[in-house]
Structure 1
Amino acid sequence: MSWPVIALIDFVTIISFENIFYPFQNQGLSVVISWIFLLFSYVIPYALISSQMSLTFDNQAGGLASWVKYSTNDTLGYWTSWMYWVQTVPYLVDVSNSVIVSFSWIILGNNSLDKKMSTFWFGILTFVIILIFILLENRLKNSLEILSLLGGGAMFIMSVLFVVMAAWAVIHGHHHIATQPFNWSSFKPSFSLNYFSTTGLLIFAMSGAELAAPYVSQMKNPKRDFPKAMWMLAIMTGFLTIFGTLALSMFFNAHTVQYDKKFKMNGPYEAFQLLGQSLGMGKSLMYIFAVVQALFMMAQLAVLLDASSRVFAGDVGDKFMPKWLTKKNKNGRPVHSYTLTVGLSLFLLLLTGTLPSIHSIYNWLLNINGIISPYKTCWVFVAFVAMRLQQEKFTSGYVFIKNKTGALIVGFWCLIFTFICATLGFIPQNVAIGTSEFNHQLWMNIITVIVLFGLGFLLPWLRKREAKKNGELDMDLNAE
């Protein structure tokens, strides 16, 4: 595989056009400064750290879990695999929600889904979509590749087109800039509690460079080309986040958009609708985007279900994982981990059923992803720091910052920054502090994190019982 292909595969599983909307709503135009700061202080180091780790552990099946396992110990490797897998569950539910929203725009042509459907049926349909995709994963041999090619490629093209066409419409007088005043003061960050508590969502939108690790073995010259792929990934991410946000400010007033509770759910479709209208194309661009979004989200479902389950069962110590959970079918897929995915998805859907509206469900799932996903990302930097502390034990085709002290400073910076942003993410977004809704969502955040991460303690215990039942007396089942 060539390095541009690796970069594109990673890009379409990390960030999409939709991912720039909730940071724009939370921070307004000041998010441009946040994106630029993160690009140079976080995204580029993150991508190049992933390059070194991928090339250091290029023959391991567990990806990030293997990085941690071989740079620290089996116990931390297990916890990485568990957190890596379980953090995809809220995202699966979120993506399934997005599939429903995209089809509602295709069918209804507007943002009236919350008036047409109850939260109960919204949850039922979300659950049905997850079940359908689990069945497709096991029935259709090439479903993952087909959906990724169609959805991922089309979404990247649509995102670039939006930026280019928005700029063209404004330059040629077809549309006036909606954000007024549009001056340097509009870009000045307001260092408030809301600003810092929403930064985890930016990390969630930009993280995932380690997903490319399994493809290292499929490259002709990974030592030379894999870092190129990571540089291309960082540049593409920077382009979409910075210029995409500027394009949004052409159509939505950055000073007032935070008051639109439905913006995160419907904003991408409304953006293409406004762009089409300004160019005299009616709703045609919106319908094209809605179809592309549906394909892209279905591709995301396929990739998430497959990749996370493989990491979970790929390289975990035998003493931690019950054998029934790692059992694979004839297609090589760990089917029982899919079953666990369904169960935890149902748990989340039951929680979301306590929220008052569809858009509040959508917003809360984004919020919880802004907590759990950055906590998972912390393990990338734990592995890097641990590896560089004992770097004489490892060899790599690429070294990020040859000076050991400099590498450790950058690694610790990324780790501490990610952990703080994830923890601040517990504060509910777009809800007034002290209200019953704020307290409700805060408790939902706490309960969700405790349940999802806490279940990781259960599997080693189940494995120990399984070993005793099967008479595996010679196995050391005590966690380190």
Structure 2
Amino acid sequence: MFNNFLRPNKHYMSWPVIALLDFVTIISFENIFYPFQNQGLSVVVSWIFLLFAYVIPYELIVSQLSLTFDNQSGGLASWVRHGGNDTLGYWTSWMYWIQSVPYIVDVSNSVIVSFSWMVLGNNTLGDRMSTFEFGLLTFIIILAFILLENLIKNSLEVLSLIGGGAMFIMSLLFVLLAGYALMNGVHIATQPFNWGSFIPHFSLKYFSTTGLLIFAMSGAELAAPYIVQMRDPKHEFPKAMWLLALMTAFLTIFGTLSLSIFFNANAIPHDFKMNGPYYAFSLLGTELGVGKLLMYIFAVVQAIFMMAQLAVLLDASSRVFAGDVADKFMPSWLTKKNKKGLPVNSYLMTTGLSLFLLLLTGTLPDINTIYNWLLNINGIVSPYKTCWVFFAFLAIRWRAKDFHSDYVFIRNRKLALIVGGWCFLFTFVCATLGFIPQDANFGTKSFDHQLLMNFITVLILFGVGFLLPYLRKRELNRNK
């Protein structure tokens, strides 16, 4: 019965599967750790504010855009191309592809960390593995998953269903057990725990870390290319977005409150972003008298979840770039698909760019710094990509007579433009402030080094996009 509900027809994907697929790519249990380290208890207020002022509007905007262009295979790139022009569509697809590269590397790193906790049972990975070995293993994992998606049919959907469902269950379990422990004598580690602790302290550092919150909660548009696989997109896709918003809200708000029970927000471990989830389940297991059992269970779930993220990211990002880009911008070899309809050369280019990023991280001193820096890069490039979602929405609402959708978010045109404009401006400002290094003190060599790396990375990743139209132009001249 349950299987039939999830897949009522072998040719269709149901809305719970779409929601889980998106949940896999948007937020995980570990995504609440680095905001907690950056902003302390006040991040709860940030999560609530973002939920109502940003996330819900964002995901309903995605619903309207997806149903406006439900016959387009390029997702976000198609939205901008039809709402703007071919050039803007190309740059959207390029930025969409490029922003996934740091995340693909980051997720591959997380796979290694999860397996290290399964094998070692502790946080000694950095002492046992050099940065070169860490980078090499990350690259091997990326290659392996590209082969997996080409060899195993339906691997993406199976991994998303298992990984997304298991991670949400583990997150729910952590919150419930943390509440149980609190009611049975466990003292809250974060002190003082009062209303004053939840008030944000607005500063340059506070706003420079908000881009990471946007990164943690964005990505709903990744489901757009799969809307053609739904039986009734008009009614089912908005349901998937609401379910996605509810799962995200639960994890971010209640997950953060649960963390404050076991960790002092004023004295966070230096490797909290990388190893925090494992510390959390270890402490919870100790309080409940089961030792490291919960930590080992979480490590297995985290590995499956991260592998599901990797599968979805490699597939969806490459499909967006190869799916709907004007012919004059793209070399024909890059959009070529194999017999299964997979853009194999897009996969290869993604792999090559991941290798560039891994070589760049080789200049950092240790694995923990690499992990943190990649997170910060995601807090820059991902929000810049998300700006295109709101640009597309503004474009279709400005020319409302030219576009029809079975679902309309905010029927009042002026109010819709105000909401879309707010989301665009907020996202752009947070992405720009993200260039400021968050894990190094101002004036130190580490701060200057990471700031330089941030600018070099963004300039090169976005700048390479100028090369492809040039190659296509040469290809057309040769053909003539």
Superposition TM-score, scaled by structure 1 size? 0.96
CA distance in 2, matches of 1:335, 1:18: 31
Aligned: 1:195 with 2:189: no
Is the deviation greater in 364-373 or in 186-195?
186-195
CA contact (8 A) 2:285 2:295 kept: yes
Partner of 1:178: 189
Indicate how the Cα distance of structure 1 residues 292 and 214 shifts in structure 2: closer, same or farther if over 3 A, else same.
same
CA distance in 2, matches of 1:215, 1:386: 23
Q: Does the residue aligned with 1:87 lie in a helix, a strand or coil?
A: helix
1:68-467 matches, within 5 Å, as 68-173=80-185, 175-257=186-268, 260-467=269-476
CA distance in 1, matches of 2:278, 2:26: 20
Superposed CA offset, 1:333-387 (max 9, x none): 1111122112111111111000011000000000000000000000000000011
Deviation at 1:12, TM superposition (A): 2.0
CA distance in 2, matches of 1:55, 1:249: 40
Deviation at 1:327, TM superposition (A): 1.1
Deviation at 1:228, TM superposition (A): 2.3
AA paired with 1:338? Y
Q: Does the residue aligned with 1:127 lie in a helix, a strand or coil?
A: helix
Identity of aligned residues (%): 76
Superposed CA offset, 1:204-238 (max 9, x none): 00001112223333333322332222122112111
AA paired with 1:374? P
Deviation at 1:254, TM superposition (A): 1.0
Superposed CA offset, 1:90-135 (max 9, x none): 0111011111111110111000111111111111111111111112
Indicate how the Cα distance of structure 1 residues 149 and 224 shifts in structure 2: closer, same or farther if over 3 A, else same.
closer
Is the deviation greater in 113-122 or in 27-36?
113-122
Partner of 2:8: none
AA paired with 1:195? Y
Partner of 1:474: none
RMSD over aligned Cα, in angstroms?
A: 1.1
CA contact (8 A) 1:84 1:312 kept: yes
Is the deviation greater in 226-235 or in 50-59?
226-235
CA contact (8 A) 1:265 1:362 kept: yes
CA distance in 1, matches of 2:157, 2:249: 26
Superposed CA offset, 1:414-433 (max 9, x none): 00000000000000012100
AA paired with 2:411? K
Superposed CA offset, 1:446-478 (max 9, x none): 00000100011100000000111111xxxxxxx
CA distance in 2, matches of 1:27, 1:127: 32
Deviation at 1:5, TM superposition (A): 3.2
Is the deviation greater in 267-276 or in 6-15?
6-15
Superposed CA offset, 1:230-262 (max 9, x none): 1221121111100000000011001222xx220
Aligned: 1:30 with 2:30: no
AA paired with 2:365? P
Q: Does the residue aligned with 1:69 lie in a helix, a strand or coil?
A: helix
**Stretches of structure 1 lacking an aligned partner (at least 5 in a row):** 472-480
CA distance in 1, matches of 2:102, 2:439: 19
Q: Does the residue aligned with 2:122 lie in a helix, a strand or coil?
A: coil
Superposition TM-score, scaled by structure 2 size? 0.96
Question: How many residues in Structure 1 have an aligned counterpart in Structure 2?
Answer: 468
CA distance in 1, matches of 2:109, 2:266: 28
Deviation at 1:180, TM superposition (A): 1.1
CA contact (8 A) 2:24 2:308 kept: no
CA distance in 1, matches of 2:19, 2:162: 16
Q: Does the residue aligned with 2:408 lie in a helix, a strand or coil?
A: coil
Indicate how the Cα distance of structure 1 residues 199 and 326 shifts in structure 2: closer, same or farther if over 3 A, else same.
same
CA distance in 1, matches of 2:402, 2:27: 35
CA distance in 2, matches of 1:18, 1:329: 36
Partner of 1:476: none
Q: Does the residue aligned with 2:62 lie in a helix, a strand or coil?
A: helix
CA distance in 2, matches of 1:371, 1:160: 29
Deviation at 1:9, TM superposition (A): 2.3
CA distance in 2, matches of 1:99, 1:350: 19
